[in-house]
């Protein structure tokens, strides 16, 4: 077999089974040798991307076709471009237990991935593509997504991405046929994002949510809290500003992080979770003593860290209000032709129905803040435009624009909130987080974890 010669475990095992020989040299294999339990040393070597075979779904297709429930099933093609995480290699997010066996990022070349997608679409006549990658290979913006964008396929792709993509990158994702992304947003507060080593800011995450509206990308995410060291104060400003975000796609809910095996929080008890025991649910599945469960399971129960009490309740309530108010909310920019005036039509749930008119440097400032900038960077740009406000004028306008819900302030930088477009919101959801009634929403209720 082609892979056996390279020493990969499963092909080597299959070769032994074929030949009827003892699998004594298969790395990582555990087996019963008569009454004796044996375990070979695990190999730390990863499978080279070029050696990852293309999926063969022919038998699956036959089973689907023969199934009496075929007409009720909407099958999707699952493809894999990359394994590991290029962010986690350098800055492992403290809560993340993904990639326990190997964090090292490795990806198929983009043109090979496209060949696989193209072949599978032609063979199965299915346009829904789910990528299983934990994080998109940034090279795919050059050698995979353009091929998908230039194809004749009306793909509907799902991708997990990092939440620092630019507006142009999100536009390309959408043009390539992505309809659903899972960015690692996790929080809108800088302090919590810093504590989890996420590598993005609150403003950057807001920019991602806003650009998802602009490019009709459904966005799945959860608001995570419970990071050791966070305080009530770290959440106050974000919770106060959440009503202004109601036109952007809401989190599926606000959830306390769990301790995951393989995460930095698990590996280093000094990060804040010294007490841990196997999560309670496992006791209903495995009839084993606790010390054996502790060797087996992925999730652990711990005493709660970070916020609790009133702040936790306020965060959950704000996330729920965001969710329920979202379907009826828009905040849309308009620029009349040949005019530098900006109109912002506010139709957000819970806000007065009105249109804001911005002229001169106010309009320029709102446009400059689409990228998200500090106050001083904004002032430099307005000065370069030739019509700078005084420092006091700029401070007053920033405060007013935040109060009107036109800007989000993460404490370091500001980002504008109005969108240029309103995407079609077509996915019906019967229940909001925490059991309240929900309505139409762009975010499917698929129970996915928010980590990329
Ligand atoms: S949460 Fe996402 S970005 Fe962070 S280490 Fe895990 S896979 Fe990588």
pLDDT for res 367:
97
Q: Are 180 and 158 in contact (CB under 8 A)?
A: yes
Q: What residue owns the CA closest to ligand 1's atom 4? A: 93
For ligand 1, residues with CB inside 6 Å are: 85, 87-88, 92-93, 96, 98, 134-135, 184, 451-452
Cα torsion angle, 333, 336, 338, 342, sign = negative
In CATH, what class is 331-416? mainly alpha
Average pLDDT (158-166) is 95
Distance 448 CA to ligand 1 centre (A): 14
d(CA 294, CA 78): 32
How many residues comprise the chain? 452
For the CA of 91, the closest atom of ligand 1 is 5
Supply the pLDDT for residue 8: 86
pLDDT digits (tens, 9 = 90+) for 48-63: 888 888 899 999 999 9
Closest CA to 111 of 137, 83, 141, 143: 143
- pLDDT, residue 38, reads 85
Confidence at residue 260, expressed as pLDDT on a 0 to 100 scale: 97
% pLDDT > 90, the chain: 80
What distances in angstroms separate CA 440 from CA 163, 215, 258, one per listed residue? Answer: 24, 18, 30
Residues 6 or more apart whose CB falls under 8 angstroms from that of 397 comprise 362, 365, 389
Q: H or E segment at 161?
A: strand 156-161
Please give the backbone phi and psi of residue 306, each rounded to the nearest 5 degrees, phi first: 70, -145
C-alpha 106 to ligand 1 mean position (Å): 14
| Packed helices 360-368 and 391-403: angle between N→C axes, nearest 10 degrees | 70
**Which residue's CA is minimally distant from atom 2 of ligand 1?**
452
Of 215, 220, 218, residue with least CA distance to 168: 215
Query: Which tokens sit at 2?
Result: 């082609």
Q: pLDDT by residue (tens digit) across 215-265?
A: 999 999 999 999 999 999 999 999 999 999 999 999 999 999 999 999 999
For the CA of 85, the closest atom of ligand 1 is 8
Residue 2: the pLDDT is 42
Give the DSSP letter of residue 137. -
Contact 415, 208 (CB under 8 A): no
Angle, vertex CA 185, rays to CA 362 and CA 221, nearest 5: 115
Those residues with Cβ within 8 angstroms of residue 104's Cβ, 6 or more apart along the chain or in another chain: 46, 84, 89
More confidently predicted of 425 and 88: 88
Buried b (16+ CB within 10 A) or exposed e, 369-395: bbbbbeeeebbebbeeeeebbeeeebe
How many Å lie between the centroid of ligand 1 and the Cα of residue 87?
Answer: 6
3-state secondary structure at position 435: helix
Q: What is the pLDDT of residues 439-448, one digit of tens each?
A: 322 232 333 3
Angle at 186 between CA 164 and CA 98, to 5 degrees: 90
pLDDT of 157 over the 70 cut = yes
Instruction: Give the sign of the dihedral formed by CA 382, CA 384, CA 385, CA 386.
Output: positive
Q: Is the pLDDT of residue 377 over 70?
A: yes
- Calculate how far, in angstroms, residue 281's C-alpha sits from the geometric centre of ligand 1: 25
Domain 49-329+428-441 is classified in which CATH homologous superfamily? tm_1862 like domain (3.80.30.20)
Q: What is the pLDDT of residue 255?
A: 97
pLDDT tens-place string over residues 292-347: 999 999 999 999 999 999 999 999 999 999 999 999 999 999 998 888 899 999 99
Distances from the Cα of 123 to the Cα of 13, 111, 127, angstroms: 31, 18, 11
Distance CA 163, CA 157 (A): 17
DSSP 100: S
Kind and range of the H or E run holding 428 = strand 427-428
Half-sphere exposure of 366 (CA within 13 A, CB side): 28
More confident call, 117 vs 25: 117
Q: How large is the average pLDDT for residues 111-132? A: 96
pLDDT digits (tens, 9 = 90+) for 265-274: 999 999 999 9
Ligand 1 centroid–CA 182 distance in Å is 12
pLDDT more than 70, % of the chain = 92
pLDDT band for position 131 (cuts 50, 70, 90)? very high
Backbone angles phi, psi at 215, to 5 degrees: -115, 20
Give the distance from CA 377 to its chain's centroid.
28
Ligand 1 atom with the smallest distance to the CA of 198 is 4
- Angstrom CA distances, 89 to 85, 100, 256, 269, 331, stand at 6, 12, 25, 20, 38
Average pLDDT over residues 10-35: 88
Which residue among 135, 183, 264, 267 is best mutated to probe the pocket of ligand 1, counting the most ligand atoms within 8 A of its Cβ?
A: 135
Separation CA 182–CA 130 (nearest Å)? 11
CA of 92 to the centre of ligand 1 (A): 6
d(CA 270, CA 268): 5
Domain ranges of the chain: 4-39, 49-329+428-441, 331-416
Q: What pLDDT does 36 receive?
A: 87
- With bands split at pLDDT 50, 70 and 90, how would you rate the model's confidence at 138? very high
Residue 64 pairs with which residues in a beta bridge?
none
pLDDT of 4 above 70 = no
Asked whether residue 80 carries a pLDDT value surpassing 50, the answer given is yes
pLDDT of residue 426: 56
Q: What is the pLDDT of residue 450?
A: 34
**Rounded distance from Cα 262 to ligand 1 centre (Å):** 12
CB-CB contact of 346 with 331 (8 Å): yes
- Considering only CA atoms, which residue is closest to atom 8 of ligand 1? 88
> pLDDT-based confidence at 31, cuts 50/70/90?
confident
CA 129 to CA 136: how far, in whole Å? Answer: 14
Cα distance between residue 375 and residue 391, in whole Å: 10
């Amino acid at each position: 077999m082609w892979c056996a010669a390279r020493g990969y475990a499963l092909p080597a095992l299959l070769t032994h089974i074929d030949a009827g020989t003892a699998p004594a040299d298969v790395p990582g294999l555990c087996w019963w040798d008569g009454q004796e339990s044996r375990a070979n040393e695990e190999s730390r070597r990863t499978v080279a991307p070029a050696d990852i075979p293309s999926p063969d779904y022919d038998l699956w297709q036959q089973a689907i076709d023969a199934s009496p429930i075929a007409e009720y099933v909407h099958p999707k093609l699952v493809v894999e471009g990359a394994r590991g995480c290029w962010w986690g290699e350098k800055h492992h997010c403290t809560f993340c237990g993904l990639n326990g066996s190997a964090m090292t990022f490795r990806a198929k070349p983009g043109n090979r991935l496209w060949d696989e997608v193209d072949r599978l679409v032609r063979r199965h006549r299915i346009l829904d593509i789910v990528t299983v990658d934990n994080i998109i290979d940034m090279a795919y913006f050059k050698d995979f997504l353009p091929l998908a964008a230039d194809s004749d396929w009306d793909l509907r792709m799902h991708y997990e991405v990092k939440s620092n993509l630019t507006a142009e990158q999100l536009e390309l994702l959408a043009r390539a046929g992505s309809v659903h992304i899972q960015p690692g947003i996790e929080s809108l507060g800088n302090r919590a994002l810093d504590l989890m080593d996420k590598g993005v800011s609150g403003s950057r995450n807001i920019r991602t949510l806003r650009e998802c509206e602009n490019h009709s990308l459904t966005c799945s995410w959860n608001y995570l809290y419970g990071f050791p060291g966070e305080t009530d104060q770290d959440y106050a400003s974000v919770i106060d500003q959440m009503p202004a975000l109601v036109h952007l796609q809401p989190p599926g809910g606000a959830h306390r992080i769990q301790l995951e095996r393989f995460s930095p929080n698990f590996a280093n008890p000094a990060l804040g979770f010294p007490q841990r025991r196997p999560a309670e649910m496992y006791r209903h599945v495995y009839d084993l003593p606790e010390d054996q469960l502790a060797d087996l399971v992925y999730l652990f129960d711990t005493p709660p860290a970070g916020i609790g009490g009133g702040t936790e309740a306020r965060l959950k309530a704000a996330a729920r209000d965001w969710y329920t108010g979202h379907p009826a909310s828009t905040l849309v920019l308009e620029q009349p032709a040949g005019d530098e005036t900006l109109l912002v039509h506010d139709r957000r749930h819970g806000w007065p129905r009105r249109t804001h008119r911005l002229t001169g440097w106010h309009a320029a400032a709102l446009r400059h803040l689409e990228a998200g900038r500090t106050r001083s960077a904004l002032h430099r740009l307005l000065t370069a435009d030739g019509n700078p406000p005084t420092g006091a004028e700029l401070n007053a306008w920033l405060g007013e624009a935040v109060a009107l819900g036109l800007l989000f302030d993460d404490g370091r930088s500001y980002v504008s909130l109005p969108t240029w477009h309103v995407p079609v919101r077509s996915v019906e959801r019967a229940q909001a987080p925490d059991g309240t009634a929900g309505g139409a929403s762009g975010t499917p209720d698929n129970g996915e974890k928010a980590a990329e």
